[in-house]
Amino acid sequence: MLQSLTADQLTALHARRKCLTSLVDFPVLLWSGGSPSRNFPANRYPFRASSHFLFFAGIPIVNAVIRLEGDRLDLFMDEPGPGAALWHGPEPTRDELADTIGADSAFPLAALADKAEGAATLAVQSPNAGHRQADILGRTVAQPTQANGIDGQLVRALVQARLTQDEASLEEMRRAVDVSIAAHEFGMAATAYAETEAEVRSAMEGVLLGHNMTMAYNSIVTVHGEVLHNEVYHHPLAPADLLLADVGAETQSGWAADITRTWPVSGKFSSTQRDLYDVTLAAHDACIAAVKPGVEYQDIHLLACEKIAAGLVDLGILKGKAEDLVDQDAHTLFFPHGVGHLLGLDVHDMEDLGDLAGYAEGRERSDRFGLGYLRLNRPLQTGMVVTIEPGFYQVPALLHNPALREKYVEAVNWERLADFADVRGIRIEDDVLVTETGAEVLTANLPCEAEAIEALVAGT
């Protein structure tokens, strides 16, 4: 089908292109990529265009290249072969697609080699694409994290262009958010009728698919929330379980939402679950309140750590002062990951560039456990979208680690901790836009207070 773009979307695309080309003094080639085979050539994973291509082209086009220079955009792609209409239906022509995305001209791929001289590019994920890129450019193309020369300059320019969102991208992200919220609400309401994680996953992903969106990432829907990237769905649901669902939509043009909620299978938090839920929620609320331009994201992460540590002290699980506990990394026993990341076209936006987007120039990952998992370490800027997603987990691999138990023998009241055995994992994740005056929670229409969650699970 020929996806269409609104006048506002086209205006945004032109502005993005101009922004990029003003930052570099060489032409830029961006490949869209192809879809890899799943088990045999005709059975492919659904196509997902390169985010860098989507950012400037606006719509996914398989095996296409755009060339950006000054005010010009040239589209390179081959027309479908003669048999394609039978199998794939009538497809838009190259000229129609060029018109849709506002290209100045359009050529077959064979013409690309002549327009590639002196151009920078990024390696693209696609079968055999690396060889084709190298052939056309007459040089090797390093992975984005290793790029240097003009390719390295391009990476830095892309980061600058994509770090903050424009109105057109926010509109797409709000659409992804709205559908994701509906999925979470439906998942909560469906829990009463579900016997397995798979059934709740089915209910939630069904909402995304029903709106003709896809999953921005492999959904996590699990009673084992302590497994941070759990991607199995076979566990039965027991009334005493908490169910953690990290599910987000992706629009047809690639923009993502990323939302986590945790709810009681029975519809009612136990008192211990409620206590730890409220500790997590307090951290979540404090972090969102702290979001504003100029604030260091790492400080927001550390605020989450401190709030969680303080909450656990109040519950008698940790001993001492929150500040000191965080200095000792004692909170990482229960909150080992970072408080969030950039969100945009990728759910971890621009993570294909390694830490070049997430980390300000000159900064590197910490070697402290926990802090080293932080994916974003920059001062916040108006227009950035970030997630805020503190959590509380009881990870056997950490809590049963003899060295850690020894290290934190004084910091943890292990007996008291045993009272909270009915909590394996809690996470509360929202998507937050940095505004001039502070923050706008894009996901605000999905409540996160414990009573409101209980009401959604009860369907009342």
Answer yes or no whether residue 324 interacts with a copy of itself by CB under 8 A.
Answer: no
- 65 CB-side CA count, 13 A: 27
Q: Segment contacting a copy of itself (CB under 8 A): 16-24, 80-88, 92-100, 237-245?
A: 80-88
Answer yes or no whether residue 81 interacts with a copy of itself by CB under 8 A.
Answer: no
Q: How far is the CB of 381 from a copy of itself (least distance, A)?
A: 21
Secondary structure class of 171 (helix, strand, coil): helix
CB nearer to a copy of itself: pick between 395 and 444: 395
Helices then strands, counting H and E runs in the chain, come out as 15, 17
Task: Give the span between the Cα atoms of 231 and 320, in whole angstroms.
Answer: 36
Q: How far is the CB of 292 from a copy of itself (least distance, A)?
A: 28
Among 60, 187, 336, 340, binds a copy of itself (CB under 8 A): 336
- Contact letters (x/-) for a copy of itself, 96-125, by CB under 8 A? -----------------------------x
Task: Give the span between the Cα atoms of 286 and 358, in whole angstroms.
Answer: 22
Answer yes or no whether residue 5 interacts with a copy of itself by CB under 8 A.
Answer: no
CB nearer to a copy of itself: pick between 35 and 382: 35
Answer yes or no whether residue 11 interacts with a copy of itself by CB under 8 A.
Answer: no
DSSP string of 372-397, one letter each residue: GG---BSB--TT-EEEE--EEE--HH
Secondary structure class of 165 (helix, strand, coil): coil
* Nearest by Cα to 155 from 145, 164, 163: 145
DSSP string of 280-320, one letter each residue: HHHHHHHHHHH--TT-BHHHHHHHHHHHHHHHHHHTTSB-S
Among 7, 45, 364, 409, binds a copy of itself (CB under 8 A): 45
Q: In the numeric block, which tokens belong to residue 5? A: 């773009």
Answer yes or no whether residue 86 interacts with a copy of itself by CB under 8 A.
Answer: yes
- Contact letters (x/-) for a copy of itself, 364-403, by CB under 8 A? -------------------------------xxxx-----
CB nearer to a copy of itself: pick between 74 and 151: 151
CB nearer to a copy of itself: pick between 172 and 199: 199
Q: In the numeric block, which tokens belong to residue 117? A: 């001289």
Q: How far is the CB of 293 from a copy of itself (least distance, A)?
A: 26
CB nearer to a copy of itself: pick between 68 and 203: 203
Site for a copy of itself in 181-200 (CB under 8 A): 196, 198-199
Neighbour tally for 361: CB within 10 Å: 8
Size of the site for a copy of itself (CB under 8 A): 60
**CB-CB contact of 348 with 354 (8 Å):** no
Answer yes or no whether residue 258 interacts with a copy of itself by CB under 8 A.
Answer: no
In whole angstroms, what separates CA 69 from the centre of its chain?
30
Q: Which amino acid type is present at position 316?
A: G
**Alpha helix positions (H), 58-109:** 84-88, 94-101
Neighbour tally for 362: CB within 10 Å: 5
CB nearer to a copy of itself: pick between 72 and 400: 400
CB nearer to a copy of itself: pick between 48 and 301: 48
DSSP string of 196-263, one letter each residue: BHHHHHHHHHHHHHHTT-EESS--EEES-TTSTT-----PBP-TT-EEEEEE-EE-TT--B--EEEEE
Answer yes or no whether residue 419 interacts with a copy of itself by CB under 8 A.
Answer: no
Q: Segment contacting a copy of itself (CB under 8 A): 20-28, 210-218, 312-320, 430-438?
A: 210-218
Q: In the numeric block, which tokens belong to residue 250? A: 């992706």
In whole angstroms, what separates CA 248 from the centre of its chain?
8
CB nearer to a copy of itself: pick between 23 and 198: 198
- Contact letters (x/-) for a copy of itself, 339-358, by CB under 8 A? ------xxxx-xxx------
Site for a copy of itself in 121-150 (CB under 8 A): 125
Q: How far is the CB of 440 from a copy of itself (least distance, A)?
A: 25
Task: Give the span between the Cα atoms of 151 and 137, in whole angstroms.
Answer: 12
CB nearer to a copy of itself: pick between 263 and 335: 335
Q: Segment contacting a copy of itself (CB under 8 A): 22-30, 36-44, 320-328, 441-449?
A: 36-44
Name the one residue in this structure whose structure tokens are 């500040």.
323
What is the rounded end-to-end Cα distance, in angstroms, of the chain? 41
CB nearer to a copy of itself: pick between 367 and 436: 367
**CB-CB contact of 45 with 35 (8 Å):** yes
Among 110, 111, 113, 232, binds a copy of itself (CB under 8 A): 232
Residues near 228 by Cβ (< 8 Å), separated by ≥ 6?
336, 337, 393
- 22 CB-side CA count, 13 A: 8
Residues that bind a copy of itself (CB under 8 A): 1, 36-46, 48, 50-51, 85-90, 125, 196, 198-199, 201-203, 205-212, 217-218, 224, 226-234, 336, 345-348, 350-352, 395-398
